[in-house]
Structure 1
Amino acid sequence: MSVMDLPEFEAALMYGVEALREGLAVVVANPSPMTYGVIARDARVVNRLKGRPADHPVGVSVHTEASHDRLFRCLDLRSDALAMVDFALAERITVLAPVRPDPAMPEWLAPAIKDGWVLFFDGSWGPTWFLWESHPFLYGSSANRTGEAPAASAAEAREQFPARSQMIIDADDRRLPATAYGPSTIIRVARDGRPTLHRSGIQDPDVLLNRLREFRSKVAVLDGSTSSPLGRTYLSVAVNEDGTPKQLLPNTRIRLGFARQPNKNEGDPRVWDIVRAHVGCNRIGTATAAGELLAGGRLSIPGLGGTAVGCKPPLRDQEELLTAFLTSNPTWQLNGDELTLTSGGTTITLLDRKIVEPDSPLDGVKWTVVTTIANADARRGYGRREEAWIRFDDGRLTGWTGGNDLTGTFTRNNTELSFTDVTVSNRPGTAETAAMETAMLATFQPTVSYTIDHNQLTLLAQSSEGLDLTTS
């Protein structure tokens, strides 16, 4: 099915994704009673459309799990204040928060930072989610020319902006009528966690601040004063039953990941605490209201859901035992990087994944392509009759596309790579190797984010195209 065959609104979203990829701005609807907003992959494009200086600070939308987690690691706030910020994001409030003086700060945050404070929001909305999720982060502001009121409808947006410089996603029929419209309220969260009004918007500031303070106090009590495993992943190093070591099946470990995230759906709870588990077969997990998962030194899991892979009996039995253990309200204790869970006579000892499986260096190893990425998260494997790979060596890029040699140069900082002079040889290939070569060349752009997780490397260009790779 081509884009032309899609319903008008869905086709507009697809064209919007392409417009963002091409470096244009998109004017997009927010849920009522908020006004329309303008978004782009480049902050300068947002400022140009609004008639502001190119280097004017803008907000950044952290609407994907990866961008949310990367930002939160940079904020100079305690866990209860971070939970309150998640509540604000769920309520579609824009947040101004302090950042740590960290040399590993991702470069994409720079346009949203001024004088040690970062401005951010979560712009993703149900009817337009595909537009947002096709890009790991986007810069944004209210849809108005400087000095004019923000557009409350697609018609008002068309009046303010020339059609050639951006695309407007008309979602008026998906918004509820409102007696008044306005941009998001902005709150400032101090380093001690106190929220104050930075800019009044459509949300009532007094009601809003009271709700945020009440939520922060509640979570602070539930979280307690001890450190927490939230935001980390742990791997088992020992299992004991009644004092006797128990061996897991070969090549399996218990993996537990903990996270705290805003609830993108309407209704309570506004913030989730999440646990994800894996022991060789299905990926299972659950979400509870913030503060309840780990309250009182116990892991409180009402039930677990997940994938439905048909495991063979040994793996299935092992998974069922883990499920029974996790739902038995075990105690937890964190001592540095070691997490201990205990229930009845069973004790599971886990270590932070970064210790058990340290990250591979970027340089000096062969990275084999596993999947290609489109729209930031649409992944596609390939047959690998001719293995594609790349290697980084002191500023020099070499590789094999499955049909041709690849060479180039690169520079890097803590979070991004910049590729130049990337070329391939000119041997004929198959349709499969040609598709892989196209995907690889599309990835090696001047600005490419990279993350390494143990032996997995992910490259993601600003165009939202990328590669998943692995090293042995």
Structure 2
Amino acid sequence: MSELDLPEFDRAQLHAIRVLRGDGAVVVTNPSPMTYGVVARDPRAINLLKGRPADQPVAVSVHSQAAHDQLFRYLDLRTDALAAVDFALAEHMSVLAPIRSDPTMPEWLSPAIQDGWVRFFDGAWGPLASLWLTFPFLYGSSANRTGEAAPASAVEAREQFPPGTVVIDADDRRTPSDVYGASTTIRVDPSGRISVHRSGIQDQVAGGADVLLERLREFRSRIHGLDGSAPSPMGHSYLSTAVTENGEPKQLVPKTRIRVEFARTPNQNPDGPRVYDVLRVHAGCNRIGTAVAAGELLTDGTLGIKGFGGTQVGCEPPLRTQEEWLKTFLMSRPSWQVDGDELTLTSGGTTITLLDKKIAEPDLPLDGIRWKVGTTITNADLRHHRSNTEPAWIRIDGEHLTGWTGCNELTASVTRNNTQLTFTGVTITDHTCTGETAEVQSEILATLGTAVTYDIDHNKLTLLAPSGIGLDLKAD
């Protein structure tokens, strides 16, 4: 099916994605009763469209799990306050929160930071999923020219902005409302105190700022009570170091370890709890997990799990048996205890001892490693595994990059800024590539053609551009 055969609304999203990838700004619909917003990969495009200084700080949407988790590592807040922030994000509020100064902070956060505070939101909305899922993050603001009211419809947006401005009209997908408004911005202090920084539609609909704040404070207090004061595994990943049954060592399938990850995330859907606690598990075959209302996963020192979902890979019998054993154990309400970097899970006569992943599998350095391309990323969440091509790789040594695209040698210069890499002088030899190898070379060159954020997870390297394209690589 060609693009011309798609419904008009889908074509509008594809056009908007192209505009965003070209560093333009796009006016987007928000769910009722919110007014329209403007988003861009380049914050200057937003300020230009709104008629204000190009370097004025803007908010950043952390709608992807990767962007959300990266930001939350640097917020100077307690876990109960972070849960309240997730609640606000799920309700489409904007948040102003303190952020720690750290040289490892990703560069993409900088346009949203001013005087030690960062402004952010979660802009994802179901009808515009194609657009939001394409980009790991986007900068955003209310879609109004300076001094004008934010538009409540596509017609009002087109009247306010210059001809040619891309406006995605999704009014027919919104619930009509008697009143519209821009989002409320809440401020969360390092102490956990929550206040309304800018009044908006959420506090108006709630019946006033005091009513809205009471909801947030009640949620924060409930999470504080459920989480307790003991060290928690929330926000950490662990790998098993020992398993015993009735005091005797239990051997896992060779070359496997139990991996568990605990995360807290806002619910981007209108139904269900506003914030989820998530457990992700891997024991050598399928990736399984569960999500429950925030605060209910680790209640009273036990794991509260009723069931699992996950991939459906056909495991070898020993791996399938091990996976079923682990699922049964985790659903038996095992007790948990954190002691420094160690997590212990116990149920009946079975004990699983795990070590924080950052200790058990420390990250490799960026330099001096031959990183083999395993996956190309065409948008932030869509990955294409490349197992049927000539192996491609890159290696970074200081200011120099060398590599192999699968059919051509590759060289470039590298500059660094925190977790951002910029490649210049990218050159390749002149051999003709064919088939999937040509596709991989094209993706490599596209990724290296712009500044990218890099993230190392033990022996895995991800290069991701703001446009949503990138590479997953593994130490060779």
Same fold (TM over 0.5): yes
Q: In terms of mean alpha carbon deviation, does 313-322 or 37-46 score higher?
A: 313-322
Matches within 5 A, 1:8-407: 8-164=8-164, 166-204=165-203, 205-407=209-411
C-alpha offsets along residues 157-202 of structure 1, whole Å, 9 cap, x if unaligned? 10111133x3110001001111111000111111111111111111
The one-letter amino acid of 1:188's match is R
The one-letter amino acid of 1:229's match is P
Fraction of identical pairs, as percent: 65
CA RMSD of aligned residues (A): 1.0
Work out the CA distance in 2 between the residues paired with 1:200 and 1:152.
17
Aligned residue pairs, count: 471
Q: Is the Cα contact below 8 Å between 1:95 and 1:188 reproduced in 2?
A: yes
**Any stretches of 5+ residues in structure 1 without a counterpart?**
none
Q: CA deviation at 1:254?
A: 0.5
Q: CA deviation at 1:383?
A: 4.3
Does residue 1:410 correspond to 2:414, yes or no?
yes
Paired residue secondary structure (2:353): strand
Selected match of 2:433 from 421, 429, 439 = 429
Q: Is the Cα contact below 8 Å between 2:98 and 2:190 reproduced in 1?
A: yes
Paired residue secondary structure (1:372): strand
Paired residue secondary structure (2:202): coil
Q: Is the Cα contact below 8 Å between 2:264 and 2:276 reproduced in 1?
A: yes
Q: Could you tell me which residue of structure 2 aligns to residue 444 of structure 1?
A: 448
The one-letter amino acid of 1:58's match is V
C-alpha offsets along residues 298-347 of structure 1, whole Å, 9 cap, x if unaligned? 11111112122222221111111101100000000001110000000000
Work out the CA distance in 2 between the residues paired with 1:43 and 1:225.
40
Work out the CA distance in 1 between the residues paired with 2:250 and 2:301.
24
The one-letter amino acid of 1:394's match is G
The one-letter amino acid of 1:219's match is I
Superposed structure 1 runs of 4+ greater than 4 Å apart: none
The one-letter amino acid of 1:393's match is D
Q: Could you tell me which residue of structure 1 aligns to residue 459 of structure 2?
A: 455
The one-letter amino acid of 2:416's match is R
Q: CA deviation at 1:387?
A: 1.4
The one-letter amino acid of 2:163's match is A
Q: CA deviation at 1:382?
A: 2.8
Paired residue secondary structure (1:203): helix
Q: Is the Cα contact below 8 Å between 1:158 and 1:168 reproduced in 2?
A: yes
Q: Is the Cα contact below 8 Å between 2:389 and 2:436 reproduced in 1?
A: no
Q: Is the Cα contact below 8 Å between 1:445 and 1:461 reproduced in 2?
A: no
Q: Is the Cα contact below 8 Å between 2:374 and 2:387 reproduced in 1?
A: no
Q: CA deviation at 1:378?
A: 1.5
Q: What is the TM-score with the length of structure 2 in the denominator?
A: 0.97
Q: In terms of mean alpha carbon deviation, does 382-391 or 77-86 score higher?
A: 382-391
